[in-house]
């Protein structure tokens, strides 16, 4: 009912939602027949449906390399995330993980749900990895080795300073950006991007996730996970978990705004990185998550609900982003629009208001300097609800067809 209400409020979400659904089903039909590749692509759909969708547009060799790169790092992350694994067991696994990808027999039981399946049957990932070209293998091994060492370092170290925060995000996400740039280069379709820009691409996504996932991470059992840097949160509360308590709501929002402001510093680098990509499929692969990140930050900023539950973009808007992101004009327009959503939420009494406003205006200037903002209407910011009679009729016809199909299916059973 929640999804239905959202579509009724935003009827122009319906068509992109239907396209996304059909594309998702088509992607599932394209899963290879070989057992190890079938496992890898099936697992990819389970651990990240949206990611599985955007990589389907990549060329076959690059798509396979990115799929395995993602699953290897997802497995590494599963080891790091499992707070039930003793430190003396976890650290050696993280440090040696880059060697395990060459071992068809290696597996390690940890994690939950689909992540446990991934770890229990990791031999399928190793088998697929060994079929990749050497350039792809070398890039994946190098990034896995560096990431595992960085994760091991922060198992025994808390995120104290903002420098620590940037270093941690570099290990778990900046290196992903560097690795993807290496894979793009190895495919022969892109030049090798500067490490600084690749790092910013990863940091912007990771910091967005850390902000959005505060409540999930702080409530982790048996041990909470704390990635917000003490240098920021200690300005507002005595303990990081205090942010979730209602009596600290004002301070929590100020701390949240501080975190969002920190994340926004990476946007201009991200725009530079995307602006020089040549391959359309690689461009979409990179641009869609970045637009989702700026949209998520616009929703999270000054929003106490970050400490009460889950804050995320509505599914219909996500479908629009996936459907309509095809070139830098789309990217500049989306970043400009989402920054326009965030800008009016800046409270002049917020301790970081001046810094936040400066960063938002810098983003808007970069978008305006592109000279393309007047070429297309916004699908993100709309002047009002537009319920055309045609749209409403089509919507209810589709509902009737779906209801009829479900009814006939139940009757046949």
Question: Given CA atoms 218, 223, 227, 229 in this order, what sign does their dihedral have?
Answer: positive
User: Which residues have CB under 8 Å from 155's CB, separation 6+?
Assistant: 80, 87, 90, 91, 94
Question: Annotated catalytic sites, by residue?
Answer: 168, 212, 225, 285
**In whole angstroms, how far apart are CA 124 and each of 35, 44, 107, 112?**
8, 13, 10, 18
Contact 318, 19 (CB under 8 A): no
Question: Within its chain, how far is the Cα of 390 from the centroid?
Answer: 35
d(CA 89, CA 370): 51
d(CA 331, CA 324): 9
- 313, 259, 261: which is closest to 291 by C-alpha? 313
Helix (H) or strand (E) holding 141: helix 134-155
Contact 291, 321 (CB under 8 A): yes
Q: How many CB atoms lie within 10 A of CB 226?
A: 18
Helix residue spans in 213-370 (DSSP H): 214-218, 230-233, 249-264, 267-275, 280-300, 315-324, 328-342, 353-369
Please give the full DSSP string across 6-23, using - where no structure is assigned. HHHHSGGGHHHHHHHHHH
Contact 19, 288 (CB under 8 A): no
**In whole angstroms, how far apart are CA 196 and each of 24, 193, 332, 363?**
33, 8, 21, 18
């Amino acid at each position: 009912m929640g999804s239905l209400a959202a579509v009724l409020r935003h009827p122009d979400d319906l068509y992109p939602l239907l396209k996304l659904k059909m594309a998702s089903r088509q992607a599932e039909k394209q899963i290879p027949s070989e057992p190890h590749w079938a496992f890898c692509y099936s697992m990819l759909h389970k651990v990240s449906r949206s990611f599985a969708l955007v990589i389907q547009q990549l060329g076959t060799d690059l798509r396979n390399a990115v799929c395995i790169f993602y699953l290897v790092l997802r497995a590494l992350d599963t080891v790091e995330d499992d707070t039930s694994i003793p430190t003396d067991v976890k650290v050696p696994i993280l440090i040696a993980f880059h060697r395990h990808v060459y071992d068809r027999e290696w597996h390690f039981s940890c994690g939950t749900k689909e992540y446990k399946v991934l770890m229990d049957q990791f031999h399928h990932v190793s088998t697929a990895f060994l079929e990749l070209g050497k350039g792809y293998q070398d890039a994946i091994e190098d990034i896995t080795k560096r990431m595992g060492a960085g994760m091991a370092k922060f198992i025994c170290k808390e995120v104290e300073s903002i420098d620590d925060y940037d270093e941690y995000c570099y290990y778990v996400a900046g290196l992903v950006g560097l690795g993807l740039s290496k894979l793009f280069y190895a495919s022969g379709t892109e030049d090798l991007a500067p490490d600084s820009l690749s790092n910013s691409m990863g940091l912007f996504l990771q910091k967005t996730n850390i902000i959005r996932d505060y409540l999930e991470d702080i409530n982790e059992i048996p041990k909470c996970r704390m990635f917000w840097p003490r240098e920021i949160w200690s300005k507002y509360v005595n303990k990081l978990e205090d942010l979730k308590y209602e009596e600290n709501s004002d301070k929590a929002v100020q701390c949240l705004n501080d975190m969002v402001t920190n994340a926004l510093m990476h946007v201009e680098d991200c725009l530079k990185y995307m602006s020089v990509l040549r391959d359309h499929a690689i461009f979409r692969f990179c641009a869609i998550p970045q637009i989702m990140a700026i949209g998520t930050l616009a929703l999270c900023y000054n929003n106490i609900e970050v400490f009460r539950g889950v804050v995320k973009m509505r599914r219909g808007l996500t479908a629009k982003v996936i459907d309509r992101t095809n070139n830098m004009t789309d990217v500049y327009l989306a970043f400009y629009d989402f920054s326009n959503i965030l800008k009016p939420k800046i409270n002049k009494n917020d301790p970081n208001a001046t810094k936040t406003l400066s960063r938002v205006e810098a983003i808007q200037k970069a978008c305006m300097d592109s000279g393309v903002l007047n070429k297309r209407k916004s699908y993100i910011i709309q002047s009002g609800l537009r319920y055309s009679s045609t749209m409403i009729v089509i919507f209810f016809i589709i509902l009737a067809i779906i209801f009829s199909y479900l009814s006939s299916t139940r009757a046949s059973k």
